[in-house]
A and B are shown apart, each in its own frame.
Chain A
Amino acid sequence: MDALRDFTAELDTDIHSDDPGGDRDFPLMPVGQAVDMGQAPDGTPLLDPRVLHSREFFRNPYPYYRIMRDHYPCFHDKLHNTYYVTRYEDVWRCYFDDEGFNTIPKGSSSGVLGNTQLELSGVEHRRRRNLYGQHLVGRSLDLRVPSIQRLARQMIDDWDDMLDSGYVFDDGRKRIVELGMAFANEFPVRVVCEVLGFPNEARKQFFYWYNSMMSGLGGSALQKQGLEARQSLEDYVQEIVEERRRKPSYLKDEDGNVIGKDIITKLCETRVDGDYLSTEEITSNIALVVAAGGETTRGAIVNMWYLLLQHPEQFAAVCADTENWNRAFHETLRNSSPIGGQPRHNSHDLEMHGVHVPAGSLMQMVDFSANHDDRVFKDPEKFDIFRPDLYSGKLLRSGYSKEGRCSHMAFGVGPHLCPGAWISHQEAVEGSRILQQRLKNVRIVEDRMAKDIDGKSLAPIGIVRVPALWLEFDRP
């Protein structure tokens, strides 16, 4: 119809648009710049929710989080039925309020890990929270630091036997290693394996369970393998649990003195609401500790070395004073945490920054973004272990925010604060101190590393963790 000319013109454009939705190839931008997704008349940048699942976002997430923080502090992604909470203060407050923002069955972890404290809130959570927490902190952890150091030394000693593994080799006077495969992947898992009280001979098997369960999380295509691994872990744990129920076993320090019962024994003895934990629940707890303590700490170690070696003056500072490793650890977690954030469901209808959120909605707390909120951390994209606004002491459940310093959000805060924060800190720092002594004149082998879009500079970490870190140093 003639009167509808304008309409049909618009319709034709829509019909011939080549962008029906679905994954879109967003162009890869220089780090720190967002793709232009259009603007509102008042200049507010628009945000296409598909960008959050794009390759561009995985390598260069921060400009997009900045758009959210500045313009959509509670962003409703209607395509993925999710609200994103991105400002430090908001994330912090929601984490604290575990009644208003409850935890939920997370991704397919419900199948792969089983029911764990991650998914509980309120009193049910508190009853289980402290079953074995004391092993991961305080005196019993202090007593175990020498064992952590021993494990690190052993792994490095083993490199001599790994020369044909493809991850360790010698090239003239230099030795080249891939830090992940040669060290960081397995080190935290070995530490956890010991504290749990797994027999030494189960170690190899343990690594399989760990790998398969990790890759089966989050609705991944490998969920089936994950579920199988979980089943196999449960079959194995069953025997150990039966054994430990009859006969407790103990963790010892390096001199053979008893520190206390290992975690599995603890779990076997624990009663909640008058009942002993079922083998199923114990397996879930084990699976959680393994999953929560492996990949995370690996990411922290590898990211930390990647960042430090790209800032030689800061690397020199940690070598000069090894106390600075503590700062490096926390600044790494702030700048490039291995965990992006945590899902919460709001228990009640609420209004946040003008957005109405009906009860039961998925609200994604974005730790990555909180850690880069320039309302709290100045010049947040910069890696600076000496930054004056970051607290790098022992982590507190209440978080820390005093005297112009704030803690990062990588371990969460509030009731679910990572109970492994302190042990992972010890692993990363003690492990790195030992590495630092052994790796003389260490540097990144740039030829072997992934590059950024210019084909020259090293790829940014983004939200993906450094997949492999090739180092070269003087041959021992």
Chain B
Amino acid sequence: MSEAENLVVGANGVAVPHFEHSGEGYRSYEVHQRERVGQSTEKINGAQLASADYAANPYPYLQILRENYPCYRDWINNCYWVTGYDDVTSIFTDEANFETRPKLWYYGLQGFGRDLRNEMPVLWAWSKAMDGFAVPVAEQLIAGFGKGEADLARDFAVQYPIVLLGRMLEIPDDELGTFAVRYWRAQRGVLWYPQAQLAGRQALDELVRYFTPKLAAASDQETSVLAAVAAVGGSAADLVTTLLEADHQTLHGALANLWMNLLIEPVNFDHVKQDHMAMKIAYLETLRHSPPVITAERFARHEVERFGRLIPEGGLMRISALAANRDPRIFADGDRFDVDRRDICHREARGQYRADGLPQGIAFGLGRPSRHPAVPEDRPRSLYALTRDTAVAASWTLAQMLPDLRLRDGTTPVARCLRIGETYACWELPVRF
């Protein structure tokens, strides 16, 4: 229906939209729970869960939730918090009842473009390009460090995924800076901050304009992501949508937090620089100990009962990887970064969050565990595996090129969110070598 037909002129001469609903019935919430005296939740309130202190260090708040209120009804932020490991994974793997809303939805831009991550040719080109550039990009960034010192968070971890994408998308060096700014803004515009929304919205349009001619002129190389996008009939808006939905947070945050964890206790770094496998375990332990995406949002597709609560249709579940990954029922001494941890699985989990009977550190942003074989023949490996291998390759390169890396004296790096809801990462990691 057109905008004009959809308007009704109200009694005061004001035009208002006419709301069409299907009339297929509805349900009032006759059957909702009464909270009893023993169920009061005075140990925490919603405002604390959206506070500056929470952004700086969410862990103490999440611990209160996990240890007291398995499904906390937060009236301030209008959501349900789920924080126990098994509860979190049960929601995360339950696509029948809980939906993920794409980043485009948060922008209010349904229909802007198509996410091409289901298109096999795009996935193939993507993974080949990523594998091909993983080490050269790391080498290039490291070569550009200042003399004897650098900030690993800013000069390496944040830049790495963006430069890598730049290479994968055949962006020339002199355009890389502009691309980086636009990409960064587009990602930050997803959330609630109005200036960021505006800048992000603008960046999306600029990216579409930028990629339109590139896509038309795409080569036909097998590893060219642009060519693959063109081959499946994707437009520049589709490409930009795919970039928006694709995860860079995990790669960035995992690198930043991995190096933070390795350098805070130099024995950890000594341990991993000898042994490629140890670097991989350290990466897995980082995803567990300090996951870059600390909470994810899932919406109830329909009324559903969980954890003894009736969750109404549309109810927002805020599920926390950070809280779950330190659940003492699952991981011994969970607050400790244990570079050689034995109670997490070292293989990629399949389908559920466990492999070899051991739990995996939950990492949002990479999708739920893939059901496909670890090394499939007919498709590239999972995003989880691809991100892991890239992060480990980049970190290994760094460790081999600068084996005497150490924190600059007097610094104590921490992880935090720049803004509520954003990546939980170490943003300042000054080092000497």
CB distance from A307 to the nearest CB of B (A): 25
Please name all residues of chain B whose beta carbon is closer than 8 Å to the beta carbon of A438 when the two chains form the complex: none
Q: Which one of A1, A107, A122, A228 has the highest number of Cβ atoms from chain B below 10 Å of its Cβ?
A: A1
Q: A100-B19, A221-B42, A347-B21 are in contact. Are A355 and B35 (CB under 8 A)?
A: no
CB distance from A101 to the nearest CB of B (A): 9
State which residues 196-247 of B face A: CB under 8 Å.
198
The answer to whether B52 and A20 touch across the interface, beta carbons within 8 angstroms, is yes
Q: Is A102 an interface residue (CB 8 A)?
A: yes
Q: Which single residue of chain A is at the shortest CB-CB distance from B74?
A: A219
Whole-angstrom CA separation of A393 from B351 in the bound complex = 65
Q: A2-B144, A79-B77, A114-B34 are in contact. Are A93 and B16 (CB under 8 A)?
A: yes
Q: Which single residue of chain B is at the shortest CB-CB distance from A375?
A: B14
Q: Is B28 an interface residue (CB 8 A)?
A: yes
Please name all residues of chain B whose beta carbon is closer than 8 Å to the beta carbon of A227 when the two chains form the complex: 35-37, 39-40
Q: Of B39, B176, B416, which is within 8 A of A20 by CB? A: B416
Whole-angstrom CA separation of A347 from B21 in the bound complex = 8
Q: How many contacts between A and B, using CB within 8 angstroms?
A: 238
The answer to whether A15 and B40 touch across the interface, beta carbons within 8 angstroms, is no
CB distance from B413 to the nearest CB of A (A): 12
Q: Is B46 an interface residue (CB 8 A)?
A: yes
The answer to whether B106 and A102 touch across the interface, beta carbons within 8 angstroms, is no
Q: A38-B195, A115-B32 are in contact. Are A89 and B37 (CB under 8 A)?
A: no
The answer to whether B34 and A20 touch across the interface, beta carbons within 8 angstroms, is no
Q: Is A247 an interface residue (CB 8 A)?
A: no
Whole-angstrom CA separation of A218 from B78 in the bound complex = 11
Q: Which single residue of chain A is at the shortest CB-CB distance from B178?
A: A6
Q: Is B277 an interface residue (CB 8 A)?
A: no
The answer to whether B427 and A22 touch across the interface, beta carbons within 8 angstroms, is no
Q: Is B314 an interface residue (CB 8 A)?
A: yes
Q: A47-B194, A81-B79, A350-B21 are in contact. Are A99 and B26 (CB under 8 A)?
A: yes
Q: Quick one: CB contact mask for B1-24 with A, threshold 8 Å, 1 for yes? A: 000000000111010110111111
Please name all residues of chain B whose beta carbon is closer than 8 Å to the beta carbon of A87 when the two chains form the complex: 14, 16
Whole-angstrom CA separation of A10 from B162 in the bound complex = 14
The answer to whether A119 and B29 touch across the interface, beta carbons within 8 angstroms, is yes
Q: Quick one: CB contact mask for B171-182 with A, threshold 8 Å, 1 for yes? A: 001101110110
How many residues on B have C-beta within 8 angstroms of the other chain's C-beta atoms? Answer: 88
Q: Of A7, A22, A76, which is within 8 A of B108 by CB? A: A76
Which candidate, B53-61, B116-124, B264-272, B397-405, is the interface stretch facing chain A?
B53-61
Q: A4-B180, A108-B75, A219-B75 are in contact. Are A102 and B26 (CB under 8 A)?
A: yes
Q: Is B417 an interface residue (CB 8 A)?
A: yes
The answer to whether B28 and A88 touch across the interface, beta carbons within 8 angstroms, is no
The answer to whether B193 and A21 touch across the interface, beta carbons within 8 angstroms, is yes
Q: Is B141 an interface residue (CB 8 A)?
A: yes
Q: Is A37 an interface residue (CB 8 A)?
A: yes
Q: A22-B52, A111-B34 are in contact. Are A221 and B45 (CB under 8 A)?
A: yes
Please name all residues of chain A whose beta carbon is closer than 8 Å to the beta carbon of B28 when the two chains form the complex: 102-103, 119-122, 124-125
Whole-angstrom CA separation of A122 from B25 in the bound complex = 10
Q: Which single residue of chain A is at the shortest CB-CB distance from B106?
A: A78
Please name all residues of chain B whose beta carbon is closer than 8 Å to the beta carbon of A88 when the two chains form the complex: 12, 14
Whole-angstrom CA separation of A122 from B28 in the bound complex = 7
The answer to whether A359 and B314 touch across the interface, beta carbons within 8 angstroms, is yes
Q: Which single residue of chain A is at the shortest CB-CB distance from B417?
A: A20
Q: Quick one: CB contact mask for B150-192 with A, threshold 8 Å, 1 for yes? A: 0000110011001100000000011011101100100010011
CB distance from A76 to the nearest CB of B (A): 7
CB distance from A380 to the nearest CB of B (A): 13
Whole-angstrom CA separation of A124 from B17 in the bound complex = 28
Whole-angstrom CA separation of A391 from B321 in the bound complex = 54
The answer to whether A352 and B19 touch across the interface, beta carbons within 8 angstroms, is yes
Whole-angstrom CA separation of A383 from B177 in the bound complex = 56
Please name all residues of chain B whose beta carbon is closer than 8 Å to the beta carbon of A100 when the two chains form the complex: 19, 21, 26
Whole-angstrom CA separation of A121 from B28 in the bound complex = 5
24 pairs across A/B with beta carbons < 8 Å?
Answer: A1-B140, A3-B173, A5-B177, A7-B177, A21-B420, A22-B52, A78-B192, A80-B77, A92-B10, A102-B26, A102-B27, A103-B29, A105-B33, A111-B39, A218-B75, A221-B45, A222-B42, A224-B37, A231-B36, A347-B26, A350-B19, A353-B17, A358-B299, A359-B314
Of all A-B residue pairs in the complex, the 3 with the closest CB atoms, nearest first, are A360-B314, A111-B35, A219-B75
Instruction: Known A-B contacts: A121-B28, A219-B45, A350-B19. Give 19 more (CB < 8 A).
Output: A1-B176, A2-B144, A8-B154, A21-B192, A22-B420, A23-B52, A49-B194, A53-B76, A78-B192, A79-B420, A89-B16, A111-B36, A115-B30, A120-B30, A124-B28, A219-B73, A348-B24, A350-B20, A351-B17
Footprint of A on B, CB under 8 Å?
10-12, 14, 16-17, 19-24, 26-30, 32-37, 39-42, 45-47, 50-56, 73-79, 101, 105-106, 108, 110, 140-141, 144, 154-155, 158-159, 162-163, 173-174, 176-178, 180-181, 184, 188, 191-195, 198, 299-300, 312-316, 416-421, 427-428
